[in-house]
Chain A
Amino acid sequence: MKAGTKLERILASGKFAVTAEAGPPKGTSAEAMRKKGELLRHCCDAVNVTDNQTAIVRMSSLAGCLLLKQQGIEPVMQMVVRDRNRLALQGDVLGAVALGIGNILCLSGDHQKFGNHPGAKGVFDIDSIQLLQTLRMMRDEHKFISGEDISGEVPVFIGAAANPFADPFEYRVHRLAKKLKAGADFIQTQAVYDVPRFARWMEMLTERGLDKQVHILAGVIPIRSAGMARYMRDYVPGVNVPDEIVTRMEKSESPKEEGVKIILEIIEQLKDMPGVHGIHIMAVGWEDIVPDVVAKSGLMPRPVV
């Protein structure tokens, strides 16, 4: 065991994992965070807390994680390299571990241009692959980037993102291999709508045996309206929504139900796909649908390990 978190134990035991995303509030309400936690508590194994997602300032991921932790919910702390340099990133890792947070997901972060402070200086002192490397070095060698010793243990279960829908497509498997080499223990992917493309990517990586070295959780985002489907297709970087799904949403008389139906069909295919070890549900602003989606996918009750 690297960190012995529930997420790690579930994946190590070969069970199909379920994680979900909870964005912290654009304000100071601990209650808002706790509410999302309560909604997700019984239907997933760990909850990702986003880090100024889409470059919009929110309560910090570290604080959000601690609030979940105090409720007895296991957090996954997301960290982007856009807002902090190597000193701040490493300092926050030490703080997270001291507070009992064991899962950390390393990301580049959406460009600041997309957020509510487009004039901000993007830090990008190190990149997401170097952050993976940093965490592994801190955990396995007890060293900072500088080579100096860390006092105490740094038990972290290290996560990375992957986007098989970005280009160049052929490179995406090499990028995954690179992330493994840098230190990733688990992967949470960008939302899957184009299942055949995702399946091709999975085939390419299982051919290389990469699925045996890392746990892949396929990302899904339930769509609740035709407008949202179009917006994601046209404006959200890195997301690929096929026209067929947009059309289905447009034609439906009860789009929310149709959205759930679509996501359940996708999850059904993902569950059977070789190498997929779990799903990651990012129900942006629609967290109350997650228990329903998990239950209807036949993934309840969640295992106790």
Chain B
Amino acid sequence: MKTITSSKPVEEVMGYLEKCQKVYIIGCGTCATMCHTGGKSEVLGMKEKLEGSGKKVTGWMIIPTACDELTKYALEEEAERIKEADCVLAMTCAVGVQTIALHLKDKKPVYPALNTLFIGMEDSPGHFTEVCLQCGSCVLGRTAAICPLVRCSKSLLNGPCGGSSGGKCEVSEDIPCAWQLIYDRLAEMGRLDEMEEIEPFKDWSVSVTGGPRKIDAEAECTTTS
């Protein structure tokens, strides 16, 4: 599982740092390194950029996995240099940003340098596609293991709309029509009759709109074992 990120526009990052003269930069050795958005070379590139615009970088580090509990100890080790800074610039995914802010002893702003996009599938080296919405009630069993909630631009649950043309989505030539893919896979398996079943109303209460979701994996294991 990889969290896919992209760099925020420089102007937005500089906007956050307007009131900060001294900055501490944190990158992440896992997903952001792989996406070339928050690895060592990007962190050093950012350092150069900030110094070029007259700011002081009090220090930097690449936390092996910024979203992990161990981030706490990495922050403790660098406490002095972080203390010296007016803010922390996190070149990590949003989970990393929040983990850093949570464990920072010396309270100061933690600004994101990246946009967190999606949980992606690497379909060719360095090329990622969003394949799961994390909706909380998986429909893949009825859609030939292709998720229409993210791969169809309208999240349609009951087949392709009138904008599917030549296998492409009406929104862009670069987007394959998810329902054409589902149709083709079902056809290959001789299961096209399933396309006439009406998909029930979706329960969005278990998704993003239902409030923050929590799982106690320990308790789940206890109850199922």
> Using a CB–CB distance below 8 Å, which chain A residues touch chain B?
82, 86, 108-111, 113, 122, 124-130, 133, 145, 161-163, 165-168, 171, 174-175, 177-178, 181-182, 190, 237-238
Contact = CB atoms under 8 A, between A and B. Distances in A.
19 contacts: A86-B201, A111-B163, A111-B170, A111-B171, A113-B171, A124-B156, A130-B157, A133-B198, A145-B201, A161-B162, A163-B162, A166-B164, A166-B165, A168-B180, A174-B159, A178-B196, A178-B198, A237-B162, A238-B162
B165 A182 contact: no
B162 A127 contact: no
B196 A177 contact: yes
A168 B183 contact: yes
Given A108-B156, A178-B158, A237-B170, A129 B198 contact: yes
Contacts of A163: 161-162
A297 to B, nearest CB: 25
B50 interface: no
B153 interface: yes
Interface of B: 153-167, 170-171, 177, 180, 183-184, 192, 195-196, 198-199, 201-202, 204
Contact of B198 (A82, A130, A171): A130
Given A125-B204, A174-B192, A178-B196, A130 B154 contact: no
What 6 pairs across the A-B complex have the smallest Cβ distances?
Answer: A163-B162, A237-B170, A237-B163, A238-B162, A129-B158, A124-B155
Given A108-B156, A178-B158, A130 B201 contact: yes
Contacts of A127: 154-158
Given A130-B158, A166-B160, A171-B183, 18 more contacts: A108-B161, A108-B162, A110-B170, A111-B163, A111-B170, A113-B171, A122-B153, A124-B155, A125-B202, A127-B158, A168-B180, A174-B159, A174-B195, A178-B158, A182-B198, A190-B162, A237-B170, A238-B163
Given A111-B163, A111-B171, A130-B201, A181 B196 contact: yes
B124 to A, nearest CB: 25
B160 A171 contact: yes
Nearest to B158: A129
Nearest to B200: A130
B195 A171 contact: yes
Nearest to A164: B162
Contacts of A175: 159-160
A238 B170 CA distance: 8
B165 A167 contact: yes
Contacts of B155: 122, 124, 127
